[in-house]
Amino acid sequence: MKLSEADRLIYGRLTGIDWPSKRETYFAPQVAKWQIAFIPWEFGYLAVVTDSARKKIASIEFLREGGEGLSLRVRQAAYFSGYLSHDGKILTPEAPDLDDECEVLKLARRELRLYLSGGHEIRIPYKFPEGTAFQKRVWEETLKIPYGSVKTYADIAEIIQPDKDKTGQMARAVGRALAANPLPIIIPCHRVIGSNQMLIGFGGGVDVKDYLLQLEMWHAIPTA
């Protein structure tokens, strides 16, 4: 994508970073230490962000039509890399040069493609998110849910707080903690559903949650 001088100036004002000399499918401004890969899939792109050392995955976001719910960093990267238009439409940039993409993003591409083909549990080095003690406990319990299985918000609430009288309130708190999960798919919050078996509360959209659950249940991995 060729940027006008006005776009370059806007980018500089927003980020304080010079526009990189070569546009690629990953986004790595010259001053920033992280990289972002935009991986195409059924619902647009998975925006996969590394940590500052480029050794682990720090977050995954869903880039969909409209561009809603994105962090400022990913929104800027999507726009200036040619994946998102000014009016929120998903775009397909020209074939990129991936020579300088860091190893953890190359691994993330392979692992996510295998996962999305069915029957594969993701194995990617990731940075466990920062959060409150409660959020971390919820994320830790969510990581224990096997591929192809589900738990309810109440199930996780009862593990954390066995007092039955507080389960309802705690279940809502579990939902809020999962809504703050920056590593969907890796920390599989899509495997947590409502007590009435309803699919609720997923940042990528309920249709994405349904898609991921159907994928896993159709290709369930046998347990040893």
Beta bridge partners of 192: 151
At 177, list the tokens.
């903690």
Backbone angles phi, psi at 20, to 5 degrees: -65, 155
Distance CA 205, CA 134 (A): 24
Please list, in sequence order, all residues whose beta carbon lies within 8 angstroms of the beta carbon of residue 7, skipping any fewer than 6 positions away: 80
Q: Strands, E, within 103-180: which ranges?
A: 151-152
Based on the residue annotation, tell me whether 102 is a catalytic residue of this protein: no
Q: Would you call 223 helix, strand, or coil by DSSP? A: coil
Are 30 and 22 spatial neighbours (Cβ–Cβ below 8 Å)? Answer: no
Nearest-CA neighbor of 172 among 197, 187, 153? 153
- If one counts every other C-beta atom within 10 angstroms of the C-beta of residue 125, the result is 13
Q: Would you call 52 helix, strand, or coil by DSSP? A: coil
| Given the residues 189, 193, 208, 213, the one annotated as active site | 189
Nearest-CA neighbor of 185 among 151, 224, 216, 220? 216
Determine how β-strand 57-63 pairs with β-strand 44-50.
antiparallel
> What single-letter amino acid sits at 149?
S
Active site (catalytic) residues: 189
